[in-house]
Amino acid sequence: MSQPAAAPPGGTSSNGGQPEPTPGQTQDQWRYKGWGPQGPAGQYQGPYAAYAARMGAQAGSGPGQSYLPPGQPASARQPTDAPRRAYRRTEGRVVAGVAGGIADHLGVSDTVVRLVLIATTVSGGFGILIYAALWFLMPLAPETVPAAPGLAAHTRSGLRSDEPAPPVAEAKQRKREKSRGQLPALVAIGAGLLILLQVAGLGIAGKLFWPLVFAATGLALIWRQADESQKDKWARDVRVPILGLVLGKGGWKSLVRIGVGLVLIGTAVTLFLVQNGRLSMVGDVLIALLLAVVGIGVIAGPWVHRLTRDLNSERAERVRSQERADMAAHLHDSVLQTLALIQKQADDPKAVARLARSQERELRSWLYDEEHDADQTIAGAAKQAAAEVEDSHGVPIEVVTVGDCDLTEPLASMVRAARESMVNAAKHSGAAKIDVFVEVDGDRVEMFVRDRGKGFDVDEVPDDRLGLRHSVMGRMERHGGRATVRSDPETGTEVRLEMDR
Amino acid sequence: MSSRRVVVVDDHDMFRAGVRSEIGASVDIVGEGSDVDTAVKAIVGTEPDVVLLDVHLPGGGGTEVMKQVHQRHPDIKFLALSVSDAAEDVIGVIRAGARGYVTKNISGTELVDAINRVAEGDAVFSPRLAGFVLDAFSGAIDIASVDEDLDRLSQREREVLRLIARGYAYKEVARELFISVKTVETHVSSVLRKLQLSNRHELTRWATDRRLV
């Protein structure tokens, strides 16, 4: 229960779009250090050395000290100098998500927070006051719809014509089912506690008891409804009409909820008056109450309306500027650094091409790829291997994959064999480009590594040339696969690896 | 062979200038466009052999340009050009009527080659597009509900596509399969037709399906 809140997606994008310098990213970043001016220990000494050192320090500090403390909602990701906010949970909550929010904020178990709240409620009633106050003060954790930033941006600016529907229905369904089961449990627990208190004589004086119960229940219903509509507002970033502010997307259900709440409060007032022997005043008081509510509504309506509108537009603007900031941070961390390095290496065309290619790949995967599972599927692993070879040898490698499957141990060896073939092609063939094709068809997995280089005589490869014999052929045979090599001076070399999974 | 008349459509001036300097000597660039409206105007005004069309274009994307031009000039051929390798873009632009798809890092000579091929009515598949097609046409399908001819690749077509995905040029594919280059072109054109006309669920929902995996 203490983990889910860490999962809600961040303010703008969640799937790799966050520019936080996570350890892996920073190491990638400084993969280029070999080409910059070097210190004694191979440490990058260029104009960005200070920056590199800072990044390095963060990379070494481990996940516990990264920007994002565990358990904190992703939406709270901000530079360290900004104050950290506590948010009420939208998922895994019991009443309004206050206890869960506190637990996430403090990094403790939510059970502990709930027990403390219950204990303070029972002994004196402070707990429930604190809860109500925090319910009022703590904002809901915001939600977002994730998408690859490049595609999302193209769609937004009309550069693309179509728009696939995001698959969100399932999650909504699940949430609804959960909250349906919670309500009876909540009522039962509340009733039990009250009865216990009353029996023990700790409770409220007899006369006030029922009016207070009714009033509290009515208020809770209305508050919770207001909460739901706020949640809807997070989900759809649109202007909400004044009535929508109260009703949200709930339709007649929310009307019923508010109605029941009002009736309960009315009952509380009536009961109070009846018990105090002033039955004749009930009608007058209720009418006066109604008039007061209507009057306040008429007076405050336009003002509230304008306030809501301003708030909405300001919020939309803030979301936009956050997106811009994320984008800017990413461009700074990757593209600008690479451009700086390229200028420094301008007299070395190979290094420039290598940097540009590596940056292109990184940016492309950030913009368009939605899967980052290099160590889980064979397609991911093959792309990763190709990227590494491309970076270390400076020959562009185009990877095409058809189908995909989980990366088992034998398949991992197959990818290593393919990687070795890529290294061979990059080192010896002299080809300007290498093509890699991975196909998973039923139980059969095939990989092809092809170059149009100068080729070699397969039979003449000396036994001491370990690469091909051991790393490719031997490795494949040990894992029940097969490697065949075809090579001639005209068409270049093609290594074919096959294995049943 | 007289040089082909080409219109270049891309919203980046730098890219248009780059294309012009790289292939301007081999083909006749008769017009340029930077968004849907200017592109349609340039194409309708010059009636080129081939349009080099950027997939992402202000005003509705490259598919919108094809939609508007094809109503009046169904014979003008389009070669899609993009930096994005996203499957939904590639499949989308082919189904809207492009005769081929290449990425922007293609070399000048390869691009001229592709333009000539498209002008002659053949299809141009990059390795990546071949991979997408194999992916979209793979797997079991409900036999009863499909038009066999359109919704399935023949054995030969699969072989040709696999070789293209492995990085083979048409000439190399022909040599590998002991068939003529013309036959390879026929197979690829037939795949293109299936790609454009098939109602296979995978082609319309391909991207979404992939996202769910």
- State whether B58 and A160 contact (CB < 8 Å): no
Q: Find, among A170, A166, A213, the residue nearest to A190 by Cα.
A: A213
Instruction: Tell me: pLDDT of A455 over 60.
Output: yes
How many angstroms separate the CA of residue A380 from the nearest CA in chain B? 13
Give the pair of three-digit tokens for residue A346.
């301008």
Q: Which residues of A462-481 are buried (b: 16+ CB within 10 A; e: fewer)?
A: eeeeeebeebbbebbeebeb
- pLDDT, one tens digit per residue, over B134-185 is 888 875 444 444 555 667 788 889 899 999 999 888 888 999 999 999 999 9
Predicted local confidence at residue B115, as pLDDT = 92
- Identify the pLDDT of residue B9: 92
Quick one: pLDDT band at residue A203, thresholds 50, 70, 90? low
Residues A265-293: tens digit of each pLDDT: 788 877 777 777 776 777 777 788 888 88
From the CA of B125, how many Å to the nearest CA of chain A?
13
Question: Which residues fall within 8 angstroms of residue A377, CB to CB, at 6 or more apart?
Answer: A371, A404, A405, A406, A407
Q: Which two tokens stand for residue B39?
A: 């592109």
Q: Does the pLDDT at position A165 exceed 60?
A: no
Q: What percent of chain B has pLDDT over 90?
A: 21
Inform me whether the pLDDT recorded for A76 exceeds 90: no
Token reading at A245 = 């502010």
SS3 content of chain A, % helix, strand, coil (to 5): 60, 10, 30
Winning range, highest mean pLDDT, from A33-37, A349-353, A495-499: A495-499
- Which residues does residue A446 pair with via DSSP β-bridges, in sequence order? A439, A498
Beta carbons within 8 Å of A329's beta carbon, 6+ residues apart: A19
pLDDT of residue A373: 63
Round to whole Å and give the CA distance between A144 and A171.
Answer: 13
Residue contact B208–A165, C-beta within 8 A: yes
Query: pTM of the full predicted structure?
Result: 0.55
Tokens of A335: 């593209």
Write down the pLDDT at residue B174. 93
- Measure in Å the smallest separation between the Cα of B2 and chain A Cα atoms: 31
pLDDT at A418: 92
Instruction: Give A27's pLDDT tier (boundaries 50, 70, 90).
Output: very low
Query: Which position has the higher pLDDT, A347 or A193?
Result: A347
Going from the C-alpha of A323 to that of each of A148, A320, B9, the distances in angstroms are 13, 5, 29
Confidence band, pLDDT 50/70/90 cuts, at residue B50 = very high
pLDDT of A30 higher than 50: no
- Is residue A15 over pLDDT 90? no
Q: Could you give the ipTM of this predicted complex?
A: 0.80
The pLDDT tens digits of the residues spanning B171-194 come to: 889 999 999 999 999 999 888 888
Mean per-residue pLDDT of chain B: 82
Q: Is the pLDDT of residue B79 over 90?
A: yes
- Yes or no: say if B102 and B124 are a contact pair by the CB < 8 Å rule: yes
Length, in residues, of chain B: 213
What local confidence, expressed as pLDDT, does residue A206 receive?
A: 64
- Identify the residue among B84, B104, B158 best suited for mutation to test binding to A, counting A beta carbons within 10 A and taking the highest: B84
Q: Are A403 and B213 an interchain contact pair (Cβ–Cβ within 8 Å)?
A: no
| Residue A468 pLDDT | 76
Q: Does B177 touch chain A (CB under 8 A)?
A: no
Q: Is the pLDDT of residue B103 over 70?
A: yes
Residue A392 has pLDDT above 80, yes or no: yes
For chain A, percent of residues with pLDDT exceeding 90: 4
How is residue B68 written in tokens? 């508007």
CA proximity to B129, closest of B60, B96, B171, B82: B82
What's the pLDDT at A432?
84
Burial bucket for residue B172 (CB in 10 Å: 0-12, 13-18, 19+): buried
Query: For A394-443, where are the alpha helices, taking DSSP H only?
Result: 409-424
Q: What is the pLDDT confidence band of residue A52, given thresholds at 50, 70 and 90?
A: very low
Residue of B nearest to A490 (CA): B172
Residue A427's CB: how many other CB atoms inside 10 A? 13
Residue with tokens 């399969």: B177
Mean pLDDT computed over B65-83: 87
Measured between alpha carbons, how far is A409 from A248 in angstroms, rounded to an integer? 52
Q: Residue B204's pLDDT is what? A: 56
B197 touches chain A (CB under 8 A): no
- To the nearest whole Å, the CA of A341 is away from the closest chain B CA by 21
In the block, residue with structure tokens 């050009």 = B81
